[in-house]
Structure 1
Amino acid sequence: MPKQPANPEPAHPDVDSMLSRKFGKEVANYFSGSPLNRLAFLRADNVFLSQALKHSSTSFLLCNELQPLVQANTPPGAGKLAYVKYEDIKPVIGENPYAQTEKEIIEAYNSDVYVPQMIFLGIDEKDKNGLEYQGKNKYMGAPYFAIDVTPRNSVKEACEKLIEAQKAKGLDFSKGRVMDVVAQDAAVYAEARQLLDWNVRNPFCASCGQPTMSVNAGFKRTCPPTDKSTKRISNALPSTTEQVVDQSARPPCVTRNGVSNLSFPRTDPTVIMAVVNSAGDKILLGRQRRWPPYWFSTLAGFAEPAESIEEAVRREVYEEAGVLLGRVVIHSTQPWPYPANLMIGAIGQAIPTGETIDLGNDPELDDARWFDFEEVRNALAVGTSGLGEDAPAGYKEGGLRLPPNTAIANQLMTAVVNGFASGESKI
């Protein structure tokens, strides 16, 4: 079985505090732990973005069909993203897409012109040779951007040349889900993928149906009031001697009223939970029919509107397995960029009269069982793997199989069987 990447270090693990003494170190899951300061308040600052774009320390992550450029011949579990420089991407993006202010860019909007999607990801403040920028405060670090180089529209040829140039260097774009790069790179890619994906999925306004445009360095989309396209049919009224109508004006749109003239990236809250029985010595796990034999995991599902996380945990466990939960606590969270989930990891305990498993409500699970902690501990040691991977050395056929350490389900099970819920540490 390929070696799994290590999870990121928790924030400030060596700093003593009241909360760390009470609850232990924070748990950081794969796809979290980004090394970048996102500097969200500078995303509309075109002066900063223009300087960041061309600085010698700046790195650009290329994504083709949302798959990132990666280094070749890295050891299992130690994959690395590969980056390019401004001169490499200049033929795709042009001289400087941030030359104008955001207001000026919106006023000049032309839906005929294809603009490759680019995202400002943040700066790596550890790089002391990075950009120095004086805004309201002084900021210093190496800027990072992500750019969609999927060959399409007017930049198709330029993107194809850029892609071939990277392959000539021995680089390539990752295949399938990116779960084998080191933790910090995984976090950078998660941000890039989720923002690129959201932008490509939202080319039109949900209210008026007109094309939208990306602003705020890729973190917002707006429905411009005008469009200089020569192909569109104007909805403006005919001109009169009393009134000259702007033929580039678009139909009225409710998104331009009040303060809601923007569309923001989507994040879907998803609950995933390790369920403990009332006696505190068994854990509830389920499996879907498509999974490999003996492969189980924790239960999970989407949180619904007007529902607390605790309520979502109790509802999902009841719907999928018929088990009734009492107390629910939050353990940790995991960004999951396929396409836009935030996995909210919880631990819940069944009430004494609600432990009977019933799969008759929801057909999602093929099986669900209560497993002794000791059996789960053994499976965490010798039975973890990704869904498409072979079991590791030491696994005996017929034994319990579980998700790898890069999955938050693994972290939840590990926490429970090692004493997180009881407070009696087994490690």
Structure 2
Amino acid sequence: MTAPIPDLPVLAEDDSMLSRKFGREVANYFSGSPLNRVSFLRTDHAFLGAAFAHPTASFLLVDNLSPLGKDAANLAYVGRDDIVSLTGSAPFDKSEEDQIKEFNSNITHPVILFLGLDEKKKTGFEFREYKGSPYFAVDVTPKGSIEAKAKGVIEAVKAKTGLSFIPGGRLMTLNAPEAAIYAQARALLDWNHRNPFCGGCGHRTLSINAGTKRVCPPTDLADVPEGAAPKQRPDCPTRHGISNLSFPRTDPTVIMAIVSADGTKLLLGRSKRYPPHWYSTLAGFLEPGESIEEAVRRETWEESGVTVGRVVIHSSQPWPYPANLMIGAIGQALPGDGEAIHLGNDPELEDARWYGFDEVREAMVTGVSGLGEAAPKGYKEGGLRIPPQTAIANQLMNAVINGYLTLPAKI
């Protein structure tokens, strides 16, 4: 078997009833952040201001969703002095109410995310009973009215540190704890990028609550003479009743390892974009009014024609590309015609096959690689290739072939 991912976060082993019954909890890449998000404090501007101003606060710079890094495995953080020319010295000094009153759609503000507190670092920051090193992410993408300032920050940091931004559409090389920090930052910054305009009325929105909420202000100071009353904007449904239009979205997706009726084979599929001989578990989005189990059965049948009976949930994985939650499940095909593969429903897959456990075990040793990577050493041409351990698909396959469905309950 392939070695565990270094630093992949897992709960400490325990002797709880649930662990005895179901085994140790599985953690996947992009989960397990070392930061306490203290999300209830994002509306507290006294807390945010104190955290931002603290000399030990760490700031992750992100340019077009690429983070500043020491290398491909490690993020890099800068201090407050490195970004204050862009953010200002006190970006959290105004309440949500005041920010809305002073909204000017001609002015671009950099999105500043509060990520959380690293409680293991005793840096002297303390707010009420909450202690730890504050972490923020700052969007330094040059755009709008802050383009020149953002470029200045980027150039100054590069010159000072010699560091650069880690390129790539999908970062899967970071060490596990920092991958979780990046996942949080990337998903929220991407959401802010995609929602500059209101879905209810089409006008510009304003980022508040340390990057975790966008509002549609009722007035606008754009092009208004100094001292004059702000312009009224059209009525908007987001200002009435309870509305989640302006909060970050997470799209639930099922990904499933489907086992044959006799428990000896795994169903794997491939799309046209996969490298030769590279197969993975099936996956698809949940639909409104659908349970996880129903989605597993529906997506499996639509993509492969295989009919699934019992479904159990295994683990989950945040997937910040852009905002998915991969819900990992294991299902078992119904015997007989239920195992027949038919690709005529949904044309998403190019191929789907049943693979024996031994062939999957061999692939775990010699066929693991990312989509854009070459096959590893020891790979024999024509053999099965599968996703890396950073993908939940690999973890689901590994669980099945190592007896997840047959381990006796320890009660």
1:366-405 pair list within 5 angstroms: 366-405=350-389
Question: C-alpha displacement at 1:151, in angstroms?
Answer: 1.1
Residues 292-347 of structure 1 deviation map (CA, whole Å, 9 limit, x = unaligned): 11110000011111100100000000000000000001000000001111000000
The match for 1:112 among 99, 106, 129 is 106
Question: C-alpha displacement at 1:16, in angstroms?
Answer: 1.9
Identify the residue that residue 81 of structure 2 maps to in structure 1: 87
Identify the residue that residue 171 of structure 1 maps to in structure 2: 163
Question: C-alpha displacement at 1:183, in angstroms?
Answer: 0.3
Change (3 A) 1:27 1:130: farther
Moved more, 346-355 or 157-166: 157-166
| Partner AA of 1:183 in structure 2 | A
Q: Say if 2:327 is the partner of 1:333.
A: no
| Partner AA of 2:90 in structure 1 | N
Question: C-alpha displacement at 1:14, in angstroms?
Answer: 2.5
The match for 2:97 among 94, 103, 112 is 103
Question: C-alpha displacement at 1:288, in angstroms?
Answer: 1.0
| Partner AA of 1:187 in structure 2 | A
Distance 2:229 2:148 in 1: 35
Distance 2:302 2:124 in 1: 52
Q: Say if 2:339 is the partner of 1:348.
A: no
Question: C-alpha displacement at 1:253, in angstroms?
Answer: 1.3
The match for 1:294 among 274, 277, 289 is 277
Question: C-alpha displacement at 1:165, in angstroms?
Answer: 2.5
Change (3 A) 1:126 1:205: same
The match for 1:124 among 106, 118, 121 is 118
Contact persistence 1:28–1:332 (CA under 8 A): yes
Unmatched 5+ stretches in structure 1: 233-244
Identify the residue that residue 59 of structure 2 maps to in structure 1: 60
The match for 1:222 among 215, 220, 223 is 215
Question: C-alpha displacement at 1:424, in angstroms?
Answer: 6.2
TM-score (norm 1): 0.91
Q: Say if 2:399 is the partner of 1:408.
A: no
Identify the residue that residue 237 of structure 1 maps to in structure 2: none
Identify the residue that residue 240 of structure 1 maps to in structure 2: none
Distance 1:261 1:183 in 2: 31
Residues 221-278 of structure 1 deviation map (CA, whole Å, 9 limit, x = unaligned): 111111111179xxxxxxxxxxxx9652211112111233761101111100000011
> Secondary structure at the residue paired with 1:414?
helix
Contact persistence 1:223–1:262 (CA under 8 A): no
Identify the residue that residue 145 of structure 1 maps to in structure 2: 136
| Partner AA of 2:212 in structure 1 | F
Identify the residue that residue 206 of structure 1 maps to in structure 2: 199
Distance 1:6 1:394 in 2: 22
Contact persistence 2:9–2:177 (CA under 8 A): no
Unmatched 5+ stretches in structure 2: none
Distance 2:351 2:222 in 1: 56
Change (3 A) 1:261 1:267: closer
Identify the residue that residue 28 of structure 2 maps to in structure 1: 29
Contact persistence 2:199–2:245 (CA under 8 A): no
Change (3 A) 1:277 1:4: closer
Q: How many residues align?
A: 402
Contact persistence 1:314–1:325 (CA under 8 A): yes
> Secondary structure at the residue paired with 1:99?
coil
Distance 1:247 1:406 in 2: 50
Residues 109-153 of structure 1 deviation map (CA, whole Å, 9 limit, x = unaligned): 11121101111111101011141001xxx1001111111101122
Distance 1:130 1:225 in 2: 41
| Partner AA of 1:345 in structure 2 | G
Distance 1:154 1:272 in 2: 42
Sequence identity (%): 60
Moved more, 313-322 or 160-169: 160-169
TM-score (norm 2): 0.94
Identify the residue that residue 9 of structure 1 maps to in structure 2: 9
Distance 2:245 2:51 in 1: 24
Distance 1:4 1:246 in 2: 61
Identify the residue that residue 292 of structure 2 maps to in structure 1: 309
Change (3 A) 1:357 1:27: same
Moved more, 248-257 or 357-366: 248-257
Identify the residue that residue 19 of structure 1 maps to in structure 2: 18
> Secondary structure at the residue paired with 1:71?
strand
Distance 1:350 1:29 in 2: 25
Q: Say if 2:185 is the partner of 1:186.
A: no
| Partner AA of 1:394 in structure 2 | G
Change (3 A) 1:46 1:262: farther
Contact persistence 2:224–2:231 (CA under 8 A): no
